[in-house]
Structure 1
Amino acid sequence: MDATPAADRPVLPEGYGLPATTAGLLDWSTVEARLRTARHYWLGSVRPDGRPHAVPRWGVWLDGRFWYDGAPTTRHTRNVDRNPAVTLTLESGTEVVIVEGESHATRAEPDGWGTRLAEAFAKYDDAGYSPGPDSWSGQDGGGLRVITPHVVLAWFDFPTDCTRFAFGL
């Protein structure tokens, strides 16, 4: 999933001041850099009764997807096992990145993808979280999940650079 998504303006109600042209749209490389370097993310999922659930998560943006792990007994994992629709956001309310997509269980063998993930997760070493290349192998994949984006909304100077990135579905 390394293809650059299509960029355009999101649909907002009249009166928000959204420019009528595509001049000033954000570049995907700029937005993706924010996703890669962030340390804290918010994951939104849907409970079985339809109520929303939000939780802070650690994870890594690698090769156009978000990778994170957690016990299968956590509320958010039980939610996405039932309904994979999620939102993933960064912490800022002014420099905004919102990922809409699906979360699915996966695994990573230590001699390939597991090594790349462990290297990316090194950003949490100073916080005491240092998974190894074999952390996500085996039958249950060590609780590894991946979010595949469908749409990303981003702006750093609302409304002038408000951008919608659409991924092939």
Structure 2
Amino acid sequence: MDTTAAAPGSSSDAPATPSVDRPVFPDGYGIPETTDGQLTWADVEPRLVQSLHYWISSVRPDGTPHSVPRWGVWVDGRFWYDGAPTTRHTRNVEKNPAVTLTLESGTEVVIIEGESVATRADAEGLGARLSEAFGKYKDSGYSPGPDSWSGEDGGGLRVITPKRAMAWFAFPKDCTRFTC
């Protein structure tokens, strides 16, 4: 996770290591009281990088939830994705940027909480790195070029900057909370 104060469109921010602890669950869930078995960010981040399918949950203006599957990439400790500004999701996050990002698995769980904001990426630097990372979708017919997000409107590019994360791959023994 990235804890730097750099602007979301900056080209290369060195992600800081988040703090790690146990999440608080009601009695009876069996969450260990010690740090034994906790995951590290190095255990979690590769799953964010390698995943093809992500779910983003936002809140409609009337307060009801909205979830949508998305393609995107994990680069520089943030999740980058694009889409039309007229989508329900984008209209939601323009009013309330709070989102939850999850991967598909219900047994190898990664949950990211953060904020989604509109941004842009110049073709050199970040745009090139995003284009390379989006290469994982080439066989599915999506391969944006480095200049896809460099226009004034950023080509619909958005970035989720994490505030908290939770992950487990063998619940409850490795259930871990990360705080940025």
Shorter-chain TM-score category? over 0.9
Partner of 2:77: 64
Q: Is residue 45 of structure 2 the alignment partner of residue 32 of structure 1?
A: yes
Q: Is residue 164 of structure 2 the alignment partner of residue 156 of structure 1?
A: no
Pick the aligned partner of 2:98 from 81, 85, 108. 85
Number of residue pairs matched by the alignment = 167
For residues 128 and 138 of structure 1, what CA distance do their matches in structure 2 show?
22
The amino acid of 1:65's aligned partner reads R
For residues 126 and 171 of structure 2, what CA distance do their matches in structure 1 show?
37
For residues 172 and 124 of structure 2, what CA distance do their matches in structure 1 show?
45
Give 1:112 shift: 1.4
Per the normalisation by structure 1, the TM-score is 0.98
Give 1:75 shift: 0.3
For residues 167 and 126 of structure 2, what CA distance do their matches in structure 1 show?
28
Partner of 1:134: 147
For residues 75 and 36 of structure 2, what CA distance do their matches in structure 1 show?
28
Per the normalisation by structure 2, the TM-score is 0.92
Pick the aligned partner of 1:106 from 119, 125, 129. 119
Could you report, residue by residue, the CA deviation over 1:3-53 in whole angstroms, capped at 9, with x for unpaired residues? 010010001001100001111000101100000000000000000000000
SS of corresponding position for 1:111: helix
Give 1:132 shift: 0.1
SS of corresponding position for 1:98: strand
Give 1:138 shift: 1.1
Q: Is residue 119 of structure 2 the alignment partner of residue 119 of structure 1?
A: no
Gaps of 5+ in 2: 3-14
Partner of 2:63: 50
For residues 133 and 69 of structure 1, what CA distance do their matches in structure 2 show?
13
For residues 164 and 136 of structure 2, what CA distance do their matches in structure 1 show?
26
Runs of 4+ in 1 over 4 A off after TM superposition: none
Partner of 1:73: 86
Partner of 2:156: 143
The amino acid of 1:11's aligned partner reads V
Gaps of 5+ in 1: none
Identity within the alignment, %: 73
